[in-house]
Amino acid sequence: MERYEGLLRRPLMVVLLNLGLAAALYGSARIGLVIGLDRGSISPFWPPTGIAVAALLLLGPEMWAGILLGSAVSNVMTGPAINAVPTAVGMTLACLTAYWALRRIGFRVELDRLKDALALVFIAALGAMLISSTVGVAVLLITGVVPLGYLLPSWLTWWTGDAMGVLIVTPLLLTLSKLPWRRYRYIDSERFTEVALLIVGTLGIMLVGEKVLGVSFLAFPVLVLAAWRFQLPGAAPVALLVSAVAIHAAVHGYGTFAGHDLLCTMAILQMLNGSIALTGLLLSVAISERERSREELERTCTQLGDVIAHLDHAMRPDKTSSLRHWAKHKQSTSRGRA
């Protein structure tokens, strides 16, 4: 967040950022409604929540106005105007709750610790989004949009849709915000080609798996490969692409979702999206944490080697001991890997 603090010192910039966030929420809400399976106003994947939580984590609580405005405008365009403000308030409270809870436990936007990944899953996605789903469905129930007998399926769809938005979109945006874009003029062409092939391969495997074989699990090896090679910068876009293809298959009723009723389709889609998001996020963070531990261990070995070599040289200036040989070997090994 320190990277963007300068932007928030100017009131005009805060206003512009809030307006931009509201526009982003409205545009992503239109996308979410296109893939809606349930009565048009409830979607199994709601990108605005992921965008809103990411904006709060990166820019701070000053972005609440953009969340409220964008959500209200989206609700006005898709349903009764009387529902717009209460529903928007529910989403704003949910996102702010997620932000405050994550900040309270010391959440890092780099998402390079398992603690941060678990907090994003259980506190921000599964926990805080209970607020928006409960308020939103209660409003629909009170205004007669959703009948009482359809309350539980609507609530589950709303809750999991908001949670999927946080699990899939938020890690992607946090990762993109931390990439060194200014240095991408010097990007490694081989690495760029590998990423492009990974994205194209994911799309091809998912389409073949869904349309030809009628299965979705073929995406998991590709997701594991992306997490292993590139950690979250690779796993996040792959997870988004896999979810997009799965949602398209669910909406049009082919592949894994062929021949199922609405309730069964919703259950399969949410379990698939949840498995994809959790696998990519947790595996990426675990690998990043392991790599960071390895680098810290190598750095410690190098420092220890320097100390040993210095002490040994001070004690025996004219004679090289086996201990000094070991220290020099550890130094050269660690520096060679670096």
Count of CA atoms in the C-beta half-sphere (13 A) of 134: 8
| Domain-embedded: residue 234 | no
The mean pLDDT value of the chain amounts to 80
Q: Which residues are 42's β-sheet partners?
A: 38
Choice between 166 and 326, residue whose per-residue pLDDT is larger: 166
Once rounded to an integer, what is the mean pLDDT over residues 310-323?
A: 61
276 pLDDT above the threshold of 60: yes
pTM of the model: 0.78
- Reference 54, options 159, 172, 163; nearest CA is 172
| Domain-embedded: residue 283 | no
Once rounded to an integer, what is the mean pLDDT over residues 171-193?
A: 70
| Domain-embedded: residue 16 | yes
| Domain-embedded: residue 307 | yes
3-state secondary structure of 228: helix
Tokens 């990423």 found at = 195
Residue 101 near residue 76 (C-beta atoms within 8 A) = no
14 pLDDT above the threshold of 60: yes
3-state secondary structure of 254: coil
Cα distance between residue 43 and residue 47, in whole Å: 10
19 pLDDT above the threshold of 90: yes
Cα distance between residue 137 and residue 152, in whole Å: 9
Choice between 161 and 302, residue whose per-residue pLDDT is larger: 161
pLDDT at residue number 90: 93
| Domain-embedded: residue 129 | yes
> Encoding tokens for residue 112?
């390079």
| Domain-embedded: residue 132 | yes
Once rounded to an integer, what is the mean pLDDT over residues 110-116?
A: 84
52 pLDDT above the threshold of 90: yes
Q: What is the pLDDT of residues 225-272, one digit of tens each?
A: 888 888 888 888 888 888 888 887 877 778 788 887 777 877 788 788
Work out how many domains the chain is built from and give that number: 2
Q: Which of the listed residues 123, 148, 178 is the one where a domain comes to its end? A: 178
Once rounded to an integer, what is the mean pLDDT over residues 145-164?
A: 83
> Encoding tokens for residue 104?
């309270």
336 pLDDT above the threshold of 60: no
> What's the pLDDT band for 210 if we cut at 50, 70, 90?
confident
The mean-pLDDT minimum among 130-139, 228-237, 299-308, 316-325 falls in 316-325
Q: Which of the listed residues 128, 148, 178 is the one where a domain comes to its end? A: 178
Cα distance between residue 159 and residue 43, in whole Å: 10
- Reference 54, options 98, 12, 20; nearest CA is 98
Q: What is the pLDDT of residues 81-106, one digit of tens each?
A: 788 889 999 999 999 999 999 999 99
- Reference 66, options 105, 119, 27, 102; nearest CA is 27
Cα distance between residue 174 and residue 178, in whole Å: 7
pLDDT at residue number 268: 82
In degrees rounded to 5, what are phi and psi of residue 38?
-130, 100
Residue 101 near residue 57 (C-beta atoms within 8 A) = no
Cα distance between residue 166 and residue 50, in whole Å: 4
- Dihedral, 60, 65, 70, 72 alpha carbons, nearest 10: 140
> Encoding tokens for residue 193?
């080609």
pLDDT at residue number 54: 95
Q: Which of the listed residues 145, 178, 211 is the one where a domain comes to its end? A: 178
Instruction: Assign residue 48 the CATH number of its domain.
Output: 1.10.1760
**152: domain range?**
1-178
Among 126-135, 148-157, 209-218, the range of highest mean pLDDT: 126-135
Once rounded to an integer, what is the mean pLDDT over residues 62-82?
A: 86
Among 21-30, 78-87, 178-187, 314-323, the range of highest mean pLDDT: 21-30
| Domain-embedded: residue 183 | no
Same domain for 156 and 18: yes
Once rounded to an integer, what is the mean pLDDT over residues 1-21?
A: 73
Same domain for 161 and 18: yes
Cα distance between residue 15 and residue 25, in whole Å: 15
pLDDT at residue number 186: 47
| Domain-embedded: residue 190 | no
Same domain for 9 and 150: yes
